[in-house]
Amino acid sequence: AQTVTQSQPEMSVQEAETVTLSCTYDTSESDYYLFWYKQPPSRQMILVIRQEAYKQQNATENRFSVNFQKAAKSFSLKISDSQLGDAAMYFCAYRSATRPNTGTASKLTFGTGTRLQVTL
Amino acid sequence: DGGITQSPKYLFRKEGQNVTLSCEQNLNHDAMYWYRQDPGQGLRLIYYSQIVNDFQKGDIAEGYSVSREKKESFPLTVTSAQKNPTAFYLCASSTVSWSGANVLTFGAGSRLTVL
C-alpha cells in the first residue's frame, strides 16, 4: 500500500517571502499522480497543483511550484511571494495511475497535512 | 454553478442512533467518494463509487454504509456500529477516465458530533 508522509505539522512564513512544504511518499508503482490540496479555514478542499510522475518537468501554477524528485520519492511545494490568503492546511496526496476498472484508479492517499501560518 | 452540496453542515447525534449525510453533485461526474477527516490524521477514504448501483469499501468502511441509486447522489449513513463517529466528513467527485485527469472536487463538508 502507498503511504504519504508530511513531516512538518506546522510552518510559518512572512508575507511576501517563500516557503517550502515537504512531502515524501512510498510506492512500488512507476506511474502515478501527485497532488497538493489546500484547506483554508472554510474547510473546503481546493486543488493547488498536480504532477504526473511520467513528466520530468516540475509543475507550476502561478506562485505555486513543485520540486518532484521521483528517485527520492519526494514532492515538495514551494509558495513564492506568500500572501495572507495562503494561510491554510496543505495536504499532499498520491493516486495510482492504474485503469479505472480495477477499482483503484481514483482513490487518493493523503498525508497528515501541514498547517501554514502567514505573518505580517 | 456546478459543484457539490453536502448537508447538513453540522449534525449532532446521540449514541446508538444512525445518521445519514447527504452529498449531491451537478458536475456530471461518474465517481463519488466519502472521506473522513480527524485532527492529525489527514483524510481517510470510507467508500467510493465509480458508477451507479456500484460502490467499493475504502480503508475505514466499518460502521458506515452508502448507496448510489442516482448518478448525482451518494449518501453516507453512519451507523451505531461506528465506534468513534465524531469527525468531519468530506464528499468528493471526479470523472473516470484512462487519461488520469481524475481530479477530485470536494464539497464543503459535514461536521458530525456524537453527544
- The pLDDT tens digits of the residues spanning A80-120 come to 999 999 999 999 999 887 655 554 446 889 999 999 999 99
Per residue in B64-106, pLDDT (tens digit) is 999 999 999 999 999 988 889 999 999 999 987 665 657 899 9
How far off is chain A from B98, nearest CA to CA, in Å? 6
Site of grid cell 501554477: A61
Interface contact flag, B42 A99, Cβ < 8 Å: no
Q: Is A8 on the interface with B (CB under 8 A)?
A: no
Whether the Cβ atoms of residue A37 and residue A48 lie closer than 8 Å to each other: yes
Average pLDDT, chain B: 91
Pairing of strands B10-13, B4-7: unpaired
Instruction: Report the distance separating Cα A9 and Cα A15, nearest Å.
Output: 20
Q: From B19, B64, B33, B56, select the one nearest A101 (Cα to Cα).
A: B56
Residue in chain A closest to B43 (alpha carbons) equals A110
- The length of chain A in residues reads 120
